[in-house]
Copies of this chain bind each other. A is one copy, B any other.
Amino acid sequence: MTAPSIDAVRLLGRLRELGAIGRNGEGRLTRLAASDSERDGRNRLVSWLEAAGLEIAVDRIGNIFGIWAEDTADRPPLMLGSHIDTVINAGIYDGCYGVLAGLEVIETLKSSGFVPVRPIVVVAFTNEEGVRYTPDMMGSLVYAGGLDVETALATVGTDGSVLGDELRRIGYAGDREPGFLKPCAYMELHIEQGPVLEREGVAIGAVENLQGISWQKVSVEGDANHAGTTPISMRRDAGYAAARVITFLRDRAKASNTPTVATVGCMAFEPNAINVIPSRVTFTVDLRDPDEERLKQEEAALADFLKMLSGEEGVAISVERLARFEPVTFDAGIVAGIEAAARARGLSWRRMTSGAGHDAQMIARMAPAAMIFVPSKGGISHNPKEFTGDDELVAGANVLLDVVRKLVGGE
């Protein structure tokens, strides 16, 4: 048979239709996990899964599965997916693209007469964004056994709600145990959420690993003296110490010739008065590296610098760990398959590292996994300006289709 291609009109139409669900009066798109608007998005997804003839399953943490098993249900399935919850004031691609492309691949294979030798499952994981309930990537984390389902269901949200209550309320507290299907492999198609593919003019990212993440909160205590009357030599300036950390991190990242990235995203000065030397400054440090040893080295280098700085400026510095994830290495065989599929379609491709967290990193605990990235205009995501061109979206879905055909086996 001729190699099929996905139905671009169907995929793009659904992406836009789902992207219309959860908009407020001003047109801002928000589908927080287990909210009314996310229920509407879930219902729409389920209607499409049913129309495609898939078996629907929902597990206790609210993950939705569309299963194409035929008479191979006893074999480990190939799983495709992502999530459909969003941040506040979101774009339409993040997560939804991976779920709808998974469905599109199944429908294309079904209608092409392909007979798989194992089930293919599309999944939408609960609460990937982590805006309403912490931690993020919760549904996939629970599914992979990294978090107890009872603990997760008891999570209290930023609005005081309890996740388990909300899942029941919206009709998505399922009865399947998380992990009930153990996949032979997991694939996730996603927009890059970074600028690399666009700037390099590359169509397909074969994502071979995912950065480790280290989040720390640093507090500096100095003296709140008068800006006019305190000579420079007598100052213990918490704001100056914070500035030194920012320039240290940049200088180190620039000099290192490694993929290490370091970001100071949050900053608060106290008393925050124009004529008072800052007495207390708190800021966050986000360190990422795909190599665990290097990430540890970066953390150690920062700790050494803070110690030196504390003595030099006469300030007290304390550090609180906010989050820490080890890097994830994706399956080399699947990554090679993505490269081969891109090449066969005449698409440019490159291996790359995911800088953001994804459900794939959680499922990688229980099965070989990998991701495919497509370009994000300007590297922008979590924002209404998030954009990937139609041709780029279709190209990514076709690469997924080809890899799935190879992985799943059949005729």
Q: Which residues of A contact B (CB under 8 A)?
A: 192-196, 199, 211, 213, 215, 223-234, 237, 239-240, 242-247, 250, 253-254, 259, 261-269, 272-278, 281, 284, 286, 288, 322, 354-357, 378-383
Q: Is the CB of A356 within 8 A of B226?
A: yes
Whether A227 contacts B286 in the complex (CB less than 8 A), given A215-B274, A239-B267, A253-B232, comes out as yes
What residues on B are CB-neighbors of A284 within 8 Å? 274
Whether A272 contacts B261 in the complex (CB less than 8 A), given A228-B213, A247-B243, A250-B232, comes out as no
Q: Is the CB of B261 within 8 A of A265?
A: no
Apart from A226-B379, A228-B354, A240-B246, what 15 extra A-B contacts exist at CB < 8 Å? A193-B226, A196-B229, A211-B228, A225-B379, A226-B381, A227-B265, A228-B357, A229-B355, A230-B355, A232-B262, A239-B265, A243-B264, A263-B277, A266-B269, A267-B278
What residues on B are CB-neighbors of A254 within 8 Å? 232-233
Q: Is the CB of B250 within 8 A of A247?
A: no
Q: Is the CB of B240 within 8 A of A250?
A: yes
Q: Which residue of chain B has its CB nearest to the CB of A229? A: B194
* CA A215 to CA B227, docked complex, whole Å: 11
Q: Is the CB of A231 within 8 A of B261?
A: yes
* CA A62 to CA B296, docked complex, whole Å: 64
Whether A380 contacts B225 in the complex (CB less than 8 A), given A195-B234, A231-B259, A267-B239, comes out as yes
Whether A354 contacts B229 in the complex (CB less than 8 A), given A243-B247, A267-B269, comes out as yes
What residues on B are CB-neighbors of A226 within 8 Å? 193-194, 355-356, 379, 381-382
Whether A199 contacts B265 in the complex (CB less than 8 A), given A229-B379, A288-B228, A380-B225, comes out as no
Across chains A and B, which 3 residue pairs bring their CB atoms closest together, nearest first?
A: A194-B229, A228-B355, A229-B355
Q: Is the CB of A379 within 8 A of B199?
A: no
- Partner of A274 from the list B224, B265, B275, B277 (CB cut-off 8 Å) is B265
What residues on B are CB-neighbors of A239 within 8 Å? 246, 264-265, 267
What residues on B are CB-neighbors of A269 within 8 Å? 265-267
What residues on B are CB-neighbors of A233 within 8 Å? 254
* CA A379 to CA B279, docked complex, whole Å: 14
What residues on B are CB-neighbors of A224 within 8 Å? 383
* CA A232 to CA B380, docked complex, whole Å: 15
* Cβ of A364 to closest chain B Cβ, rounded Å: 17
What residues on B are CB-neighbors of A247 within 8 Å? 240, 243-244, 247
Q: Is the CB of B246 within 8 A of A274?
A: no
What residues on B are CB-neighbors of A195 within 8 Å? 225, 229-231, 234
What residues on B are CB-neighbors of A227 within 8 Å? 261, 263, 265, 286, 288, 355
* Cβ of A373 to closest chain B Cβ, rounded Å: 9
- Partner of A275 from the list B192, B244, B286, B378 (CB cut-off 8 Å) is B286
What residues on B are CB-neighbors of A243 within 8 Å? 242-247, 264
Pairs across A and B, CB under 8 Å, 6 listed? A194-B230, A196-B234, A211-B228, A227-B355, A243-B243, A243-B244
